[in-house]
Chains A and B, each alone.
Chain A
Amino acid sequence: MILISIFLSFLLSNIFGYGGGPASIPLMYEEIVNRYNWLSNAEFSNMLALGNALPGPIATKIAAYVGFGIGGWWGFIVALAATVIPSAAALIFLANIMSKHRDSKIVKGMALLVQPVIAALMIILTFEMLQDSYISLGWIQTAAIAVISFALLQKFKVHPAIVIILAFAYGGIVVPHLN
């Protein structure tokens, strides 16, 4: 019974969460805190803080945490399946249709016209990230890290993983002593 509630709550909050994982957080909050009382408000914010401290998609981290907490390992599996499978299956289905007709004028036009939208979405995300960084690190450090990582990525073609690990190390070793 509990597994069905877990399945339904994560299925609904992700199906109606348009705009990627972060968009479904308020919907998950509604299900987890208000509807089922699986977590209190404070517990939910603590979990979100932990989720934000860890890498990877946020929706799946919340699903894993709540699913395991409520239903053990089966809860973990059910919550993750409800979060991931419906949208993944839909994308595979649509992308297959698209790639079968790649040479048609219709698909070519769609592929072209979508470029400015993706560019705009990426520009907005870039600014949001810079704003977050400004709030937590201030302009000087944000700019310094951005310029150095730009040079490493673009000019020296360093693997992004290495750049991220360097920034991570800098954040752990240097930043706490600056404030």
Chain B
Amino acid sequence: MVYKEIIIAMCRSGILGFGGGPSVIPLIRYEAVTKFKWLDNDEFGEILAIANTLPGPIATKMAAYLGYRQKGILGAIVSVLAHILPTCLAMVVLISFINVVSHSAVITSMVSAVIPVIAVMLGLMAYEFAEKAIKGLGIYVGVALTLICLFLLQYISIHPAIVVLIFLTYGAFHFNLKDRIFHKKERGM
């Protein structure tokens, strides 16, 4: 049952993803790629990249796309609802207890103990994407481009969407340029 898979995957990642939308990505990826094998890792990365060029919450975009891929529009709706409804309803129910919950030392400690786990998952994902960049572009270009991105994003604070767009634009010409340079070398020899 595909709907059952969608609901399990999205509920689980929605309820366990602490630290806002972007930190839910490794969990969504685990469900979609490793657990239910809806798509492979490369494709997940591509979708994530496109999602980063668009505005709005990242987790719901990914949930909608993955649901859509499996079961069309209805799949997208089921997927997003499974991902956000449990915590959105919790928000509404907890309105009356807001002071108790948001100032409870135990709850704060519980959430903060999960953050290092999320950091590890994000770090592992970073490693895998860097590995793929190196595999596809060679070690020097792969590492150099990753460092350039870090520099652009972190030190010059260029908006991520703009960096993604720059790289996508160059990427569209990458293989054609590479072919042309390669052919020139062959002719020169």
Residues of A within 8 A of B (CB): 14-22, 24, 46-47, 49-61, 63-65, 68-69, 76, 80, 83-84, 86-92, 94-95, 98-99, 105-106, 108-126, 129-130, 132-133, 136-137, 141-143, 145-146, 149-150, 153-154, 159-161, 163-165, 167-172, 175-176
Contact = CB atoms under 8 A, between A and B. Distances in A.
A106 B90 CA distance: 45
A50 B136 contact: no
A126 B119 contact: yes
26 contacts: A21-B22, A22-B21, A54-B87, A57-B57, A57-B59, A60-B88, A64-B92, A65-B92, A65-B95, A68-B95, A86-B56, A87-B57, A94-B50, A95-B50, A98-B47, A112-B137, A113-B171, A115-B45, A116-B129, A125-B122, A132-B112, A137-B115, A146-B120, A169-B110, A171-B109, A175-B113
A122 B110 contact: no
Interface in B140-189: 142, 145-146, 148-150, 153-154, 159-161, 163-164, 167-168, 170-176
Contacts of A59: 21, 56-57, 60
B58 interface: yes
A154 B153 CA distance: 28
B16 A161 contact: yes
A20 B167 contact: no
Interface string B3-27: 0000000001011111111111011
Given A116-B133, A129-B119, A149-B120, A57 B24 contact: yes
Interface of B: 12, 14-24, 26-27, 30, 35, 42-43, 45-52, 54-65, 68, 76, 80, 83-84, 86-92, 94-95, 98-99, 101-127, 129-130, 132-133, 136-137, 142, 145-146, 148-150, 153-154, 159-161, 163-164, 167-168, 170-176
B23 A114 contact: no
Contact of B101 (A17, A50, A123): A50
